[in-house]
Amino acid sequence: MDATIITNIFGEFSAMAPMIIMIIGALLMPALYFTTKKRGVVGGALVAFILVSLAVNVILLLGGYVGTYAGLFQYDAFSGLMILLFQIVAFLVALVCTSSIEVTRLHYGAFASLLLGATTGMMFVATATDLVVIFVGVELTSISSYVLVAMKRNDPRAAEAAVKYVIIGGMSTALTIYGLSMLYGVTGTTNLAEIAVSLSTAGFSWAFGIAMITMIAGYGFKIAAVPFHMWAPDVYEGAPTPVSIFLATGSKKMGLVVFFKIFLIMFVAGASVASFATVEMQYLFAIIAAITMTVGNVVAISQTNIKRMLAYSSIAQAGYILIVMAVMSEYALTGGIFHMFTHVFMKGGAFLIVGALICAGIGEKITDYRGLAKRAPFLAFAMLLFLFSLAGIPPLAGFTSKFVLFSAAIYGGDGATSQWVWLAFIAILNSAISLYYYARVVKAMYIEKGTATDKIKVPKAFLAAIVICVAAVIVLGVFPQIILGPASEAAAALFSLV
């Protein structure tokens, strides 16, 4: 496909074309709701804007477009693919939020506007080549999400979740800006590539150490990496389910992209001239990854609320993806990107089912899911697929992406087995643990008998979104080539940024 269709229209702003469309949408939504007062119209416009932006992005991506703007943004294979990921998340959320009973009717225009705004922030992070842009993008997303969580005003759980989220988020912002300023002090620049070059000749300094710690802590909150994970289950539980989907699959991925952008570029792309702290950082990340996946999985076992269980399992999944940060190879990044995509569909799908069932009056307790296979055969089967995919059972997408990701920990690039075999071992053991709590839900749905027997009806929009996720989980499992090819190009693009 030729990218000139887009570049002719957007000219020198082509690198930001998908975001520009989203911003226009974000500005129009409140006005649209004010004039029409109809949720359906705003919902339709919301989906339309996301789809247009998605189309523009796909054309740019397939056209192999590479462009920069003002030395702050760069659109390449990596940013394009990540933008696509965020757009898919936004699309799934936008598709269902109109028909979800959890989303407020009062300020629907604001809701739609904030959703687009938050997505735009993520997309900016994906294209950023400068620390300042990363910071602004993350803040745009965070502030929008605080409001999204708090929108269910009358529900005390939502209010509690929002307050927790704001306080923790504020602290993480303070930490990151402190770290960024320290890093600026050490290197004298905020451009990622220049930082990498400058660090390759620098020696260790306390300022640098503090910068690293505060930045890992600050962005660790976004990923919900252990020990910065406490907020995630409360927030996911309290927020309206569509917003939980957005946070678990989108916002978390943004944190990971920040990690990839800052640390991979700083330590690996620049390491052609040997960076001094690479090995220490690798071990630090390996330990964080191991603890994150273990804590996530072990705590998930004792959960009785399905949203909390999914939240903890989401923490564990982030732990798996953090393997990329320990191995720091291009191949590992390919696996990481692949797993991020499959995670969107399987975790997003599972949350979608929870949201759909809430609309049908089913509670959030695992015990509420008893006998679901009789009452809603399709939903139960879809849930089964998502959970088995999360547990890594072939031939579903979760297995294939874990396979690539874990193999990256064993296959250390060029040569024999790498030093991260133990990490792969822990990850595989964790997969085994996770099967236990996923199987509990399956057992409740298929084997235990429920009290009610009437058929469940859920909104059509939810069904459509779930069907998309089911198709993706199966297709990506059997034909992983679809995403593996672009993912390896994206990884190569990120590594060649310096």
Partner 1 sequence: MFDLPEIPYLLTLLIVIPLIGAIVSLAMGGEKQKHAKTVAIAFSAVTLVLAVYLMLSNDYSVYTENYSWIETAGLKMSYILTVDGLSILMVFLTALLLFVVSIFSAHETDKPNYFFALLLAMEVGLMGVYMAGDYFLFYIMWEVTLIPMYFMISWFGGPRRHYAAIKFFIYTHVASLVMLIGIFALAFQAAQGGLVDFSFEAVLAGSGAFGETFQMLVFGLLFFGFAVKMPIVPFHTWLPDAHTEAPTAGSVLLAGVMLKMGSYGIIRVCLEALPQGAQQWQTIMFVVAIVAILYGAYACIAQKDLKKMVAFSSISHMGMVMLGIACLSDVGVEFAIFQMFAHGLVTAVLFMTCGMAGHNFGTREIPLLGGMAGKVPVYAAFMMFGFMASLGLPGLVGFWGEFGVIFAFYEYAYSIDMIWLIVFCLMSLMLTAGYYLWAMQRTLFGRLTDRIDTTHVHDVNKAEGIAMGIMCLMIAVFGLWPDLALSLISQYSTGLFGVI
Binding site for partner 1 (CB under 8 A): 331, 334, 388, 393-395, 399-400, 403-404, 406-407, 410-411, 414-417, 424-425, 428-429, 431-432, 435-436, 439, 443, 446-447, 480-481, 484-485, 488
**Residue 222 vs 402, nearer CB to partner 1:** 402
Helices 460-478 & 330-359 angle (0-180, nearest 10): 150
- CA-based nearest residue to 251, from 155, 196, 359, 172: 172
**Residue 424 vs 473, nearer CB to partner 1:** 424
**Residue 157 vs 443, nearer CB to partner 1:** 443
- Classify the phi-psi angles of 417: left when phi > 0, otherwise alpha if psi is within -120 to 50, otherwise beta: beta
- Min CB(165)–partner 1 separation in Å: 35
Taking the C-alpha atoms of residue 246 and residue 151, their distance in angstroms, rounded to an integer, is: 14
**Residue 320 vs 331, nearer CB to partner 1:** 331
CA terminus-to-terminus distance, the chain: 27
- Min CB(418)–partner 1 separation in Å: 9
* Residue carrying structure tokens 């064993």: 410
- Min CB(112)–partner 1 separation in Å: 39
Given a contact cutoff of 8 angstroms between Cβ atoms, the answer to whether 392 and 425 are in contact is: no
- Classify the phi-psi angles of 426: left when phi > 0, otherwise alpha if psi is within -120 to 50, otherwise beta: alpha
- Min CB(447)–partner 1 separation in Å: 5
List b or e across 295-321, with b for residues whose CB sees 16 or more CB atoms inside 10 angstroms.
Answer: bbbebbeebebbbbbbbbbbbbbbbbb
Tell me phi and psi for residue 415, to 5 degrees. 140, -155
Taking the C-alpha atoms of residue 150 and residue 138, their distance in angstroms, rounded to an integer, is: 18
Residue count (the chain): 498
**Residue 101 vs 429, nearer CB to partner 1:** 429
- Going 182 to 187 to 193 to 199, the CA torsion angle's sign is negative
- Min CB(291)–partner 1 separation in Å: 20
**Residue 204 vs 436, nearer CB to partner 1:** 436
Q: Which amino acid is at 397?
A: A
- Min CB(397)–partner 1 separation in Å: 12
**Residue 77 vs 281, nearer CB to partner 1:** 77
- Min CB(86)–partner 1 separation in Å: 24
**Residue 229 vs 440, nearer CB to partner 1:** 440
Contacts of 366 by beta carbon, 8 Å cutoff, 6+ apart: 303, 304, 305, 306, 309, 440, 441, 444
- Min CB(432)–partner 1 separation in Å: 5
Taking the C-alpha atoms of residue 54 and residue 84, their distance in angstroms, rounded to an integer, is: 7
